[in-house]
Amino acid sequence: MNKEIVSLRKVSKWYGGQGGLPKTSIFNEIDFSLKEKEIVGLFAPSGSGKTTFLQIAGLLDTQIEGNVFIFGSKVAIGNDYRTSHIRRRKIGFVFQFHHLLQEFSAVENVIFPLLFEGLPRNSAIKKATYLLKKVGMEDKLYNRPAELSGGEQQRVAICRAIINKPALLLADEPTGNLDQKTADSVMGLLIKLLKENNLSGIIASHNPKVAEIVDRRIMISNGKVSDF
Ligand code: ADP
Ligand code: MG
């Protein structure tokens, strides 16, 4: 049986409710589980809780009720040291905006997670170059983000997120800022890299093409998360 990468058990989430602010419920006792090598597409309208869901699965949200399990172990959500350790080693994020470091080249941006892990710079550069070539960036290895197109910047951000093979890749509308054609190609590359590396991921998107190529589709409705 496939291992569980992340699961949410009876997780509830709301915003507000303090200082007289109205309380908005986002999730009401949701259950969710992602298996090893599974790629799930998260489709829901803006404002319905996609980002909140990814932040919970990525241990970035400490204001929840219920439990999050990583590899079957309950996470101590309030424990910053423990959760940031898990995040750094096991979880990769790709956002709508690339968040690349402007002063550094494509290769340099991609090697950071490897240097953090203590890999020597030369080996890190080799790995990053290999991955960037896979996504067609061989001619732009030494360009800085400002010298790259939006699609190219996102390809670098994707390489940076998966360079140390995170057990869980969370992507929050990673092609939301791109035109349709570029979005389709970047999304195709992201899913191909996940598959090739046997990684698991949750991808929030509005792109209908994504619905066709993921293993499973989920949606958010009335505070619940369900397959469709
Ligand atoms: P999505 O990513 O699907 O657009 P979000 O998870 O960003 O949805 O937001 C879900 C709802 O929660 C929205 O109504 C949003 O306005 C609200 N929300 C998000 N973050 C906060 C916050 N920090 N404080 C209060 N409300 C928030
Ligand atoms: Mg969002």
Residue 18 beta carbon below 6 angstroms from any ligand 1 atom: no
Q: What type of residue sits at position 100?
A: L
Please tell me the distance between residue 27's alpha carbon and the centre of ligand 1 in angstroms.
11
- Helix (H) and strand (E) counts for the chain? 7, 10
| Whether the Cβ atoms of residue 113 and residue 163 lie closer than 8 Å to each other | yes
Q: Return mean pLDDT, the chain.
A: 95
Q: What type of residue sits at position 55?
A: Q
Residue 52 CA, closest ligand 1 atom number: 6
Enumerate residues with CB within 5 Å of ligand 2 (an ion). Answer: 50-51
Output the pTM of the full model: 0.94
Q: Say yes or no to pLDDT of 1 above 70.
A: no
Please tell me the distance between residue 125's alpha carbon and the centre of ligand 2 in angstroms.
32
Please tell me the distance between residue 12's alpha carbon and the centre of ligand 1 in angstroms.
14
| Cβ neighbourhood burial of 135 (10 Å; 0-12, 13-18, 19+) | buried
Q: Distance (Å, rounded) from C-alpha 62 to C-alpha 220?
A: 20
Cα separations in angstroms, 83 against 58, 69, 167, 186: 9, 11, 14, 30
Mean pLDDT value across residues 114-126: 96
